[in-house]
Structure formats: C-alpha cells, structure tokens
Structure 1
Amino acid sequence: MSNKQLEVFVRVVQLGSVTATAQALGMSQPSVSKSLALTEQHLGFTLFERSGGKMKPTAEASQVFEEALRMQEGIARFDRFLENVQRYRVGQLRVCATPALAINVLPLLAPVLRQAFPDLGLVLDMYLNNEIEAAIERQQYDLGFLLQPVDPQAPPPGVVCQGQMVCVMNAAHPLAGRAAIGWDDLPPRELIYITTDPRIVAMMASAIAGFRERPVSSLETNRYSMAINLVRQGLGVTVVDEFSLAGIDTTGLAIKPFAPALPIAVVAASAVRSAVAEPAERCIEALRGVLQPRG
C-alpha cells in the first residue's frame, strides 16, 4: 500500500464516502474508487460495504484503520524530523520545558544565551511534563527541562536543581505563621488540588494518606501557575513544587515547606547534537543559576 493509498483509505473511513474523500484530497471520485480497488486487490479482502449511502468499513478494515493511523503518525513524525535536519542541522538550539518553567523561567535564560551566542538560533517551547522525554527521544528538541520526584540518596541523571513541594497561601491566611504545613493542617474545603504529572501525583499519594479522597466540592486544576493565581484570588491553599514559583512575583503570598518533605528535582533531558553542545550546557548552567536561590 502506497502512502497515497493509505491516505485515501484513512479518509474514506473517517468521512464515510468517496465523494467527501475526493473533495478533501482534491482528487476525482474515480481516482478515489480506483485507489480503494487497488488496495483491496493488494490486501485480498473487502474494505468497505455500502450502507445507506455511506461507506461502512468491514471488520478487517477497522483493524487496518487503527494500524494505518499509527503509520501515518510515524510518517508525519519522520517528515518533521527530516525537516528539522534540513533546516536546523546547525546553528539552532531547541529547548522545551514544563509550562511553569517555560513561561516564567526560559525567558530569563534567553538574554544569557543571546549574549553568549549572538548568532545562535533559539527555540523556546512549552511542553507537558510527562511528554518532554518522548519529545527529546524523537529529536524534536535538543534539550528539555522536566520535574521528577527524587530519592535524595539516589538522584536521577541530569539533575539541574533539587527542591521540594511547598504550600502556597495568601500572606494573611491563618496558617501563614507556621514554620511548615502538614496535610492535616489544610482545610479540605480550601485545598486547591493539582492533577498534573502522574509521577508527582503518585509521590504525593504514597506519602499522604487520603490524598486521592478529595471532596466533590473540591477545586482542581492541571496547571501550577493557575493554582497559584487561584490562591491570589483568595480561593484557598495549594501544594506545588517550589520551582513553579521561580520567576514570578510572590508579593502577598506565604510559601511554607510541606511536611513530610516531598523532594523533587528539575531534570535536564537531552539529545544534544555536537553543534549545540556548548550552548546547551550554558543553558543548563543559566537555569541552575535562576533556580538555585530557591533550592
């Protein structure tokens, strides 16, 4: 099956008709029909049955469809990789980071890199924490900064800075005078839950009995920055990694260690090409310089 036949087959399944597929792909209807016939001839079984004016995929076609989507995704990923090689094989450093770090911290690194490497192209993107390592493996980026729970006795490779989870509340909150905040100190009605990276949620759940037993009326978000802004609005207290506070104005907020301590680290994942190895290392050093005062 050629790439074009694959595309035609997928579109017919998705759109349900030869006419709609022809319009979507800029082909004639006879060309679409011929492509399907050649595919069926190659595979040796029928792909579609006409039902009520629609092209209904057979059981075999439904199985082929799932694999065809994966193949299309792989081809698209390969095409993006080739484009990166063609366009950016030298002279550009591609960096991604978790939303909080990308929004608040990466812009602080840009002036350092621009001054040190004035001819270097720089890409700074935001990525979900649990997707960064895969993006690096696909060579979509040269360098990625993500958060990981850590065992202080055996930190993972690539640690940039180690820290911990902290409680954030308004400075006028009754708990703001405490040296540290425990789970039992937090009023359930006031707690702003964060549903983010599964590894971080699992770390908190293993250390805090009842962490997953939240009330129906709870307030939740999947972004640390949003949780902090909800705190600013007087809507409660949240527990975040301390690195999410880097680069933002914390005026009016009280930031207290969480007890028991929940260690976490910013980790650098890299697939650095030799052409940008030096800028990548400088980027890591600059990030460490920004985050270390909170560590």
Structure 2
Amino acid sequence: MFVQVVQLGSVTAVARVLDMSQPSVSKSLALAEQQMGFALFERLDGRMQPTPEARQVYEEACRVQESMVRFDRFIEQVRRYSVGQLRVCATPALAINVLPQAARHFREAFPEHGLVVDMYLNNEIEDAIANRQYDVGFVLEPDDASIPERDVVSRGRMVCVMPRDHRLASRKAVSWQDLDARELVYITTDARIVAMMANAIDGFRERPVSALETNRYTMAINLVRQGIGVTLVDEFALAGAARDDIAVVPLAPRIPVVVRAVRGGRQVVADQSDRFIGEMRGLLRSTGTGDKPVRRKT
C-alpha cells in the first residue's frame, strides 16, 4: 500500500487499485507512521508527497516487494513440479539447434511430463541452476580433467569458420599465424572462453582498431556467411546448422572444449534429467559434433 501511494500520489487512486475503501487506506498509512515513528507523506498541490524518510523507506520497500514476487514465482514452480515438470536451459547455439530435437525425443518418452526449454547465456547457467530456476543446464567451457565423466555431454575443439572460397578453406588445419587479424570476427560471449583463447594464442587480445566483434556465436557465423570475414568458434556452435556455404577447419594447435551438464538437486526428476542429458549426448554425436567417445578398458 505504501509503495502504491508513493507511485500514484493519491490515496483515492490507491484505494481504487487495491479495491479498498479510502478510509481503510488512510487508516493503514496512519498506523504505519505510528509504528515507524515518523511521517511518511505530506500533501502538496493535492498530491501525497513522500517525506525524505519515506523516500529511503520506499527504496527498501521496492526491494522487499521484488523479493516477494520472486518468492511467489518459486512457490508456483514448486506447485508445478508437484505434477511433474523438467526445466532445461542451454547456451544460445545449443538451445537453437539441438535443444528442440532433444525436447522432441524427451516428449516421446515422457508424454505426460511437463517440460520447459529455455535459452540462457553461457556464464549465467550455473547460477540459474543454483537458484533452482532450472533442473538441467548445458554449458560450454574449457576442457578439464576434473570434470566428472557423467557430466560430460561431448568433448570438442575450437574451429575456424570461413567462406567456402576462402584461401584457407582447403587446409586440414589452420593456425593463428595463418589468419589475418583484420578479417577476424571476434566473439566476446564468455570470459572463460576468451581467457582460454588468450592463453593458447599469443596476441589474441591485441585487436586492430577496425576489429568486428559480436557476443553471439550464431551471429559471428552468419557474418561469415555474408562474406565479411572468418571467425573462431567451438564446434558445438555449428551443431545442427547448415554448412553449405561455409568451410569449417580445425584450429591448430588443438584447443579443447567440453559441453558439460549442470544438474540441479531435485531427486524427483533425476531420471528425467539423466534421460534428457542422454538425448543431448546422442544428438551431438549423431551430428558429427565433438570427439567420438573413447572406450575405456575395464
């Protein structure tokens, strides 16, 4: 009620919005002032103007209100979970090209189970899982031996994408020294990937003034399709995408990356989560993206 009065400037308007009587609103405000020990409003030109103290209270009240909205949203999620729902998110490239196919296979296996599939920025997915917004997330990151095998969806490498008629298109591999930095479309999506590239390539951060940059792999690939230049992406950015008008050449030396599944803590959807991860793993394998799995001796 207090927030509404600050925003609308009128007890009458607030009473109308909240479907209350005007005396009830006035009485509640008077009680609030009594409890706080200072005046909240003063009348000026027919409007309720907040006092300096009230302006400070208003900022905190808005934060509390936002927290309550998030809490209500969380309760709604719990209510939906009770009837069965799996919430999945992935990096933009995977969300556009692979996630829909995995969703189709999942729906065929669990036709009565609710499913949410969303696109999230790569560096925001783990926080979204930790905050219980999603049950499963698929992130791209530098390959690391410490990643549990059960969470590895696919391993791959960085590649160079160029027009089919590019001078380097017939190479089996290209190095940084083979490229002209002036024609490179730089990608600034994730600090971890940029750091990985900088550690592997001397001079990677030294960009010319005329550099072309984007924060989306799909955008970088489409810029290449327009004949603007070449770009360096992880090969998963090309999963399910047409390659008729582009050439994809491995980058040398090899810079390894991995698609990792981030799992939430809800055991009630553990089987469904494992099934969805398995679908993503199979799809990336069938599209020829990523390394072939290595059979380990037992």
| TM-score bucket of the superposed structures, by smaller chain | 0.7 to 0.9
Alignment of 1:274-293 (within 5 A): 274-292=267-285, 293=288
CA drift of 1:172 comes to 0.9
Q: How many residues align?
A: 284
Match of 2:9 in 1: 18
Q: Is the 8 A contact 1:109 1:283 kept in 2?
A: yes
What letter is aligned with 1:116?
A
CA drift of 1:272 comes to 5.2
Q: 1:127 aligns with which of 117, 120, 132?
A: 120
TM-score, normalised relative to structure 2 = 0.81
CA drift of 1:85 comes to 1.3
| Structure 2 residue 162 is the aligned partner of structure 1 residue 166 | no
Structure 2 unmatched runs, 5+? 291-298
CA distance change for structure 1 residues 129 and 45 in 2, over 3 Å: closer, same or farther?
farther
Q: Is the 8 A contact 2:11 2:26 kept in 1?
A: no
For the residue of structure 2 that corresponds to 1:132, the secondary structure is: helix
Q: 2:4 aligns with which of 3, 8, 11?
A: 8
CA distance change for structure 1 residues 119 and 188 in 2, over 3 Å: closer, same or farther?
same
- Per-residue CA deviations over 1:101-139 (Å, capped at 9, x if unaligned) read 111001111232122222222221111112212221222
CA distance change for structure 1 residues 179 and 87 in 2, over 3 Å: closer, same or farther?
same
CA drift of 1:283 comes to 0.9
CA distance change for structure 1 residues 236 and 90 in 2, over 3 Å: closer, same or farther?
same
State which structure, 1 or 2, has the greater radius of gyration over its C-alpha atoms.
2
| Structure 2 residue 289 is the aligned partner of structure 1 residue 294 | yes
Instruction: Output the aligned Cα RMSD.
Output: 3.1
CA distance change for structure 1 residues 84 and 186 in 2, over 3 Å: closer, same or farther?
same
Aligned partners of 2:193 and 2:51: how far apart in 1? 42
Alignment of 1:120-269 (within 5 A): 120-151=113-144, 153-155=145-147, 158-269=151-262
Match of 1:100 in 2: 93
What letter is aligned with 1:111?
R
Aligned partners of 2:254 and 2:204: how far apart in 1? 15
CA drift of 1:25 comes to 8.1
CA drift of 1:145 comes to 1.0
Match of 2:111 in 1: 118
Structure 1 unmatched runs, 5+? none
What letter is aligned with 1:132?
I
- Per-residue CA deviations over 1:181-238 (Å, capped at 9, x if unaligned) read 2223222221111111222222223333333332332222111111111111111111
CA distance change for structure 1 residues 50 and 186 in 2, over 3 Å: closer, same or farther?
farther
Of the structure 1 ranges 45-54 and 65-74, higher mean CA displacement relative to structure 2 is found in 45-54
Aligned partners of 1:264 and 1:24: how far apart in 2? 58
